Amino acid sequence: MTSEPLESPEPPENPEASGNPGTDADTDTDAEVGPGLRASLEAILLVADEPVPVVVLAQVLERPRNEVEAELRDLAASYVAEGRGFDLREIAGGWRFYTREDCAPLVERFISDGQEVRLTQAALETLAVVAYRQPVSRARVSAVRGVNCDGVMRTLVLRGLTEEAGTDKETGAILYRTTGYFLERLGLAGLEDLPDLAPFLPENIEDIEDENARS
């Protein structure tokens, strides 16, 4: 009776040789895509003109509220520890960047030294919107121009050309108007002396503003 030879067992498959991604690749697949939480918070708060509540940030970033709040507090502490020129503060139920108190005189000097310097095109356009739409909120000015005007609005206030004029009853947004210094610089006795803009505006100006506000 002839016995058949036994088959040798096949060696175990090498995950690397077979192209099996293994755990490292799995980890890469699950890695977070896009900016991290800290970078995302900084990007949003950099353009905010009012304190942003934690719940709003959590909704926008789709992250747990307690995680967002913890990161905000870590950010604020790190800015203080690093001696940055700005602080991240919790004010009026939200978070916003502010110039550090001992740096404020430098910022004021930087702005005031440019009093006699010609305004940029963006500043002139923004000032015109305030002059003809006052009292008006920053959001409304941005809607008219189709771009964010927060930085330009702060410059106009610091230069004494515009000032706060109460708040909107419906939205609570801060309203702005031109100042006496604005009239003085333009050589006008009053706002009624501003030239009529109607001939230069498109007939559907309201529709354009609403479209910009939604975009």
Question: CA 165 to CA 36: how far, in whole Å?
Answer: 39
Q: What are phi and psi of 23, to 5 degrees?
A: -70, -30
Residue 126's pLDDT is what?
Answer: 92
Instruction: Mention every residue, 6+ apart, whose C-beta is less than 8 A from residue 195.
Output: none
82-138 pLDDT, tens digit per residue, is 999 999 999 888 999 988 889 988 887 777 665 556 788 889 889 999 999 999 999
pTM of this structure: 0.47
